[in-house]
């Protein structure tokens, strides 16, 4: 027994010594860790901080692009991406699954909403991944579609909220505004940035670009923020807002008129520019073919208004005439023999081939005689002095307009025939924007204004103006006296010459027609019906022009009874007349011998807090076309707002204080539909161009935030007068010529 006790005691002592030794080792290790704060060279505090410190991104917003009146043209808007969770381990409670349980059923229900093939969708859901998406079908979905998908209550189907770039007016100054898209960061594939790819979105990207913020905090092991945990916040830096000189209303006039011309004449190109000659501000600019920046269905990436130099035809005669008057060599009463003229061994002919016999130079201007302007350039001005005026009018170099894409033009001044031909718009090429800049000198008392599109750049967080663009003088090529004489002659071109199609009721227009030949790929020029570049450069009102409008149409498909200018006048007349009325330029009426002027606009009154009965009384008195939206008795919102200009017949939208109802949109323009959508926060999609002929929801339907409406638009049937007798004929020239 003694031996056994001794062995037991000895074993106990050994075990005690082992645990004592282990204790001292562990204590020593603890003391060492406490003293150094490291384990195997790793700082424990840093490890703990890394493990329990969480970071979350704070989303910033790309700057908005506005028109001159603060109406958004390009903006960030919320969108959603559909995601499917396939990881079964995320489901804790089988009664409330967090993953896709039945791919077949999910595909059957989800495919119609995403407009996907059911089998393709099912194959995505059966992939061996933790989470999947559905490509372009599941990206950028609207709030309305999100609600429809949520209503299906499909396990494992969720959404990721994002911001997308949205262009509320669709095809609208598209080559000017451009587009932006998400691009993966070259250094981190998990990061995407919205980057401008074209137009103002590209040229002003450094101002529009946003920078996301960051919030850092300590969490528990499940990732939840600890109470009273200190936060470190790097605030988001929203992009700057860019305000354009573009006027949404005038731009809409231009877009609508171009759409109608495209539908009726199917031309290869249309180019349109509207400018304020007093400042150089571009109020509207568009081309066809164009594109919808939401869809990016782009056929031509170039902005033809600034990047398409071509032989302009007789619109160039404006500047040849101005040069001759300025130099004192033009005598409008002097006679010359029209028909043909020899220069540099080549024969120049008038557009009717035979001329009008012996006529005065003033008559030559009204008839758009090539011979008259060839003689002016060669015999009166001299070609070298004429070239000086090309430089004075800026026609030998880019304007420097503040949007990307402007190109160089070509002035051919080597051979005598080219020097003379340039005087009436052949041989040399210029861009539309160069002609508009040069025309500002004629319309602005001799002062030529540099064109620009960017009005200002504003920091939305501080309201600080980062860039404030002021009108810039580009030159003073002629005197005020010369500009007045040119305007008077161009006014007669419209009333008594080749420009009669552009004679607007109520407004005196000064301008010049152009019918330019198109170079053939095989050499020489194209001939045949419609194979010309038809244009008109007009200014109004003639005595003090407030607008310059340039329209050019290339190779329209003409009817048998048409001769060329019809598609140009269809666009020009609509844009010029409506724009003048919109700007409250009062027309001249024939009601009295005193040329009484009538006011065509009024300032919008405030109807806020007024009853419907009060509104209707005021509206009837002022001939306002009110649209009551909702079943309430009092007005809580309106568009236009108080003080804005209202055109007769314009839809005056009034929002009431009860259930919002959808009006009958038949006959509405897309602009008015979008105004309504913005006012009551509904999602509108559209098909076609022109005016509304069909709507997906019946008039009177109750509208809620995010409600979705689709409208179908068609151009109106346009009836126009028969052509007048004195008009441009087909341009003809053996070496150089054209009307």
Taking the whole predicted model, whether its pTM rises above 0.75 is answered as no
Q: Are residues 2 and 66 in the same domain?
A: no
Q: Are residues 236 and 256 in the same domain?
A: no
pLDDT tens-digit series, residues 584-604: 888 875 443 344 444 445 677
Stretch (H or E) spanning 562? none
Say yes or no to pLDDT of 736 above 80: no
Instruction: Identify the top-confidence range among 87-96, 158-167, 447-456.
Output: 447-456
pLDDT tens-digit series, residues 445-469: 999 999 999 999 999 989 999 999 9
pLDDT tens-digit series, residues 383-402: 999 999 999 999 999 999 99
Q: End-to-end distance of the chain based on CA atoms, in angstroms?
A: 136
> How many domains are there within the chain?
4
314 is catalytic: yes
Do 66 and 72 form a contact (C-beta atoms < 8 A)? yes
Q: Are residues 566 and 619 in the same domain?
A: no
- Residue 70 to residue 65: CA distance in whole angstroms: 9
CATH number at residue 362: 3.40.710.10
Lowest mean pLDDT of 120-129, 137-146, 255-264, 431-440, name the range. 137-146
pLDDT at 29: 66
Q: Are residues 221 and 138 in the same domain?
A: yes
Percent of the chain scoring above 70 in pLDDT: 84
CATH number at residue 667: 3.30.10.20
Residue 84: give the domain boundaries. Answer: 56-240
Q: Are residues 554 and 640 in the same domain?
A: no
Q: 735 falls in which pLDDT band (50, 70, 90)?
A: very low
Structure tokens at 623: 């001939």
Domain final residue, candidates 205, 240, 275: 240
Q: Are residues 500 and 624 in the same domain?
A: no
317-326 and 432-443 helices, crossing angle to 10°: 40
CATH number at residue 153: 3.90.1310.10
Give the bridge partners for 237, in sequence order. 211
Q: Are residues 164 and 82 in the same domain?
A: yes
Structure tokens at 254: 């231009």
Q: Are residues 349 and 307 in the same domain?
A: yes
Lowest mean pLDDT of 234-238, 481-485, 503-507, name the range. 234-238
Alpha helices (runs of H) in 583-691, residue ranges in sequence order:
612-622, 670-680
Structure tokens at 461: 């967080």
Domain final residue, candidates 196, 216, 240: 240
- Residue 237 to residue 673: CA distance in whole angstroms: 33
Domain final residue, candidates 176, 207, 240: 240
Percent of the chain scoring above 90 in pLDDT: 50
Do 68 and 244 form a contact (C-beta atoms < 8 A)? yes
Lowest mean pLDDT of 87-96, 512-521, 708-717, name the range. 708-717
| Domain-located, residue 24 | yes
Pairwise pLDDT comparison (182 vs 268), residue with the higher score: 268
Say yes or no to pLDDT of 218 above 80: no
pLDDT at 614: 79
Neighbour-count burial for 380-417, b at 16+ CB within 10 Å, e otherwise: bbebeebbebbebbbbbebbebbbbbbeebebbbeeeb
Catalytic residue from among 79, 203, 286, 314: 314
Rg, Å, the chain Cα set: 35
HEC readout, 393-448? CCCCCCCCCCCCCCCCCECCCCCHHHHHHHCCCCCCEECHHHHHHHHHHHHCCCCE
Q: Are residues 257 and 173 in the same domain?
A: no
Mean pLDDT computed over every residue of the chain? 84
pLDDT at 378: 95
| Domain-located, residue 8 | yes
Q: What is the dihedral of CA 183, 186, 188, 191, to 10 degrees?
A: -10
| Domain-located, residue 47 | no
Averaged pLDDT, 601-624: 75
| Domain-located, residue 735 | no
Structure tokens at 333: 């009463």
Q: Are residues 258 and 218 in the same domain?
A: no
Q: Are residues 575 and 638 in the same domain?
A: no
pLDDT tens-digit series, residues 659-668: 888 888 888 8
């Amino acid at each position: 027994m003694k031996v056994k006790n001794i062995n037991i005691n000895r074993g106990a002592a050994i075990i005690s010594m082992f645990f004592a030794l282990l204790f001292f080792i562990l204590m020593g290790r603890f003391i060492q860790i406490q003293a150094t704060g490291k384990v195997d060279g790793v700082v424990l505090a840093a490890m703990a901080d890394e493990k329990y410190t969480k970071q979350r991104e704070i989303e910033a917003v790309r700057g908005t692009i506005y028109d001159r009146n603060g109406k958004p043209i390009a903006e960030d808007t919320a969108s959603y991406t559909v995601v499917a969770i396939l990881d079964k381990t995320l489901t804790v409670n089988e009664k409330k699954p967090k993953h896709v349980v039945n791919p077949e059923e999910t595909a059957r229900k989800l495919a119609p909403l995403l407009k996907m093939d059911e089998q393709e969708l099912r194959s995505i859901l059966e992939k061996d991944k933790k989470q999947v998406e559905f490509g372009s079908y599941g990206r950028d979905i609207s709030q309305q579609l999100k609600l429809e998908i949520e209503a299906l209550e499909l396990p494992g189907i969720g959404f990721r909220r994002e911001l997308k770039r949205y262009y509320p007016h669709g095809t609208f100054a598209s080559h000017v505004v451009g587009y932006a898209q998400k691009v993966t960061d070259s250094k981190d594939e998990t990061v995407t940035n919205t980057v401008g790819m074209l137009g103002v979105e590209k040229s002003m990207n450094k101002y529009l670009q946003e920078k996301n913020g960051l919030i850092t905090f300590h969490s528990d092991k499940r990732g939840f923020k600890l109470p009273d945990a200190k936060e470190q916040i790097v605030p988001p830096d929203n992009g700057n807002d860019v305000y354009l000189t573009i006027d949404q209303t005038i731009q809409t006039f231009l877009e609508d008129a171009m759409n109608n011309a495209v539908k009726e004449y199917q031309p290869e190109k249309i180019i349109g520019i509207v400018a304020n000659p007093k400042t150089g501000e571009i109020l509207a600019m568009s081309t066809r073919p164009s594109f919808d920046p939401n869809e990016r269905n782009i056929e031509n990436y170039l902005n033809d208004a600034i990047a398409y130099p071509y032989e302009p035809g007789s619109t160039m005669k404006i500047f040849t005439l101005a040069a001759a008057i300025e130099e004192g060599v033009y005598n409008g009463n002097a006679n010359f023999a029209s028909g043909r003229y020899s220069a540099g061994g080549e024969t120049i002919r008038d557009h009717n081939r035979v001329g009008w016999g012996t006529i005065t130079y003033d008559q030559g201007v009204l008839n758009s005689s090539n011979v008259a302007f060839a003689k002016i350039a060669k015999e009166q001005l001299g070609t070298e002095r004429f070239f000086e005026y090309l430089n004075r009018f800026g026609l030998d170099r880019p304007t420097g307009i503040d949007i990307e894409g402007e190109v160089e033009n070509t002035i051919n001044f080597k051979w005598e025939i080219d020097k003379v031909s340039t005087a009436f718009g052949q041989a040399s090429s210029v861009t539309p924007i160069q002609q508009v800049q040069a025309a500002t000198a004629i319309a602005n008392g001799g002062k030529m204004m540099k064109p620009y599109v960017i009005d200002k750049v504003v920091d939305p967080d501080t309201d600080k103006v980062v860039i404030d663009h002021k009108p810039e003088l580009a030159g003073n090529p002629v005197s005020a006296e010369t500009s007045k004489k040119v305007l008077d002659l161009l006014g007669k071109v419209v009333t008594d010459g080749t420009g009669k199609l552009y004679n607007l009721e109520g407004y005196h227009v000064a301008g010049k027609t152009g019918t330019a030949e198109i170079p053939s790929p095989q050499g020489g020029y194209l001939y045949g019906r419609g194979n010309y570049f038809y244009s008109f450069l007009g200014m109004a009102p003639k005595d003090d022009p407030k607008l310059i409008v340039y329209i050019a149409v290339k190779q329209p498909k003409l009817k048998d009874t048409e001769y060329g200018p019809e598609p140009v006048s269809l666009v020009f007349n609509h844009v010029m007349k409506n724009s003048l009325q919109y700007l409250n330029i009062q027309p001249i009426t024939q009601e009295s011998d005193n040329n009484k002027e009538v006011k065509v606009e009024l300032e919008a009154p405030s109807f806020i807090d007024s009853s419907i009965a009060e509104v209707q009384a005021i509206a009837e008195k002022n001939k306002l076309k009110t649209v009551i939206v909702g079943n309430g008795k009092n007005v809580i919102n309106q568009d236009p707002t108080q003080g804005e200009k209202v055109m007769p017949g314009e839809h005056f939208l009034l929002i009431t204080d009860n259930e919002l109802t959808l009006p009958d949109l038949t006959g509405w323009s897309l602009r008015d539909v979008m105004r309504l959508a913005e006012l009551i926060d509904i999602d509108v999609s559209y098909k076609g161009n022109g005016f509304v002929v069909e709507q997906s929801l019946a008039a009177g339907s109750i509208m809620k935030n995010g409600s979705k409406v689709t409208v179908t638009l068609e151009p109106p049937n346009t009836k126009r007068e028969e052509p007048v007798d004195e008009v441009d004929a087909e341009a003809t020239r053996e070496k150089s010529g054209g009307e």
